[in-house]
Amino acid sequence: MAESFAFEIAGKVLEKLGSAACERISLAWGVREEFEKLKLTLAAIRSVVLDAEQQQVRSLELSLWLQRFKDACYDVEDLIDEFEIQALRGLVLERGSTGRKVRHFFSGSNPWAFSFRMGYKIKKANEMLNKIAAEKAKFHLTEKHETNVIHRERETYFFVKTSSVIGRDEAKQHLVNFLMNPTDGEDIPVLPTVGIGGIGKTTLAQLVFNEESVKSHFELRI
């Protein structure tokens, strides 16, 4: 049996790209065609990833190719997440029930600038995936189906066992201080947490979300 990481990562991203929510978002922002290109290229590369992962121990070049593919998958996933966050911002504004401070914060989100920036990011992601797809030919990889693969499920829980999180106190306190004592003049600051999948972004956000001082300081937490 073989462990397959890139295969599963790509599968999760393809699942996101094919979701009803992503379909609505891509239509709303006029990027459906670009998303379809991402989906087709991802699927084409994924079809040979199982074979690549089995052979990578014999080829450093192939191993690096797989790593580039995984990085590209994470980039596409980040793109989808950014669109979902923007959609949530619009929903909060439409409902208008979160008060002046939240409305003031979200008013700084310029739809035109966002569309321009995301269009560039999608273009770069497509270019990278096309390059990776073109390079796969030199490895003479065979298409393989999902059989005899060990799946590693990464579960996300609302409650976190804090004792198992390394460096939790320092990182949590830094974020809490930033949120409650902004230095840039904003009523509600934003501090993105970025990094590869599994590094602990969601866990850190949950720790801050459940912090007692944060609960008592903010009227609304999402």
Task: Dump the DSSP string for the chain.
Answer: -EE-SHHHHHHHHHHHHTSHHHHHHHHHTT-HHHHHHHHHHHHHHHTTHHHHHHHGGG-HHHHHHHHHHHHHHHHHHHHHHHHHHHHHHHHHHHH--SHHHHHHHHTT--HHHHHHHHHHHHHHHHHHHHHHHHHGGGGT-----S-SEE-------SS--GGGSTTHHHHHHHHHHHHHS-SSS-SS-------STTSSHHHHHHHHHT-HHHHHH-S---
- Per the CB < 8 A criterion, the answer to whether 45 and 69 are in contact is yes
Q: What is the pTM of this model?
A: 0.62
Percentage of the chain surpassing pLDDT 90? 36
Per the DSSP assignment, residues forming a β-bridge with 150 are: 3
Assess whether 83 and 184 both reside in one domain.
Answer: no
Q: Domain boundary residue among 98, 130, 153?
A: 153
Least confident of 9-13, 42-46, 195-199: 195-199
The reply to whether 42 and 16 lie within a common domain is yes
Structurally, the chain folds into a number of domains equal to: 2
Are 35 and 135 members of one domain? yes
At which residue do the structure tokens 């709303």 appear? Answer: 28
Query: Which residue is listed with tokens 């600038």?
Result: 113
Specify the pLDDT at position 94: 65
What span, in angstroms and rounded, lies between the C-alpha atoms of 113 and 121?
12
Q: At which of 108, 132, 153 does a domain end?
A: 153
What pLDDT, on a 0 to 100 scale, did the predictor assign at position 177?
A: 80
Stretch 134-157: mean pLDDT, rounded?
Answer: 69
Does one domain contain both 146 and 170? no
Q: Where does a domain end: 153, 169, 204?
A: 153
Tens-digit pLDDT profile for residues 162-206: 444 455 677 778 778 877 776 655 555 667 777 666 667 777 888
Residues 145 and 161 in one domain: no
Mean pLDDT, residues 135-148:
82
Tell me which of 42 and 197 has the higher pLDDT: 42
* 176 and 110 within one domain: no
143 in the same domain as 169: no
Please check whether residues 138 and 166 belong to one and the same domain. Answer: no
Show the domain range for 76.
2-153
Inter-axis angle of helices 32-46 and 60-95, nearest 10: 150
> pLDDT-based confidence at 92, cuts 50/70/90?
low
For residues 124 and 164, membership in a common domain is answered with no
Residue (of 151, 144, 148) closest to 49 by Cα position: 144
Q: Residues 47-83: pLDDT tens digits?
A: 999 999 999 988 999 999 999 999 999 999 999 988 8
Work out the mean pLDDT of the chain and round it to a whole number: 78
Give the pLDDT confidence score for residue 4 in this predicted structure: 65
Query: Are 149 and 183 part of one and the same domain?
Result: no
pLDDT (average), residues 95-110: 51
Residues 106 and 30 in one domain: yes
96 and 198 within one domain:
no
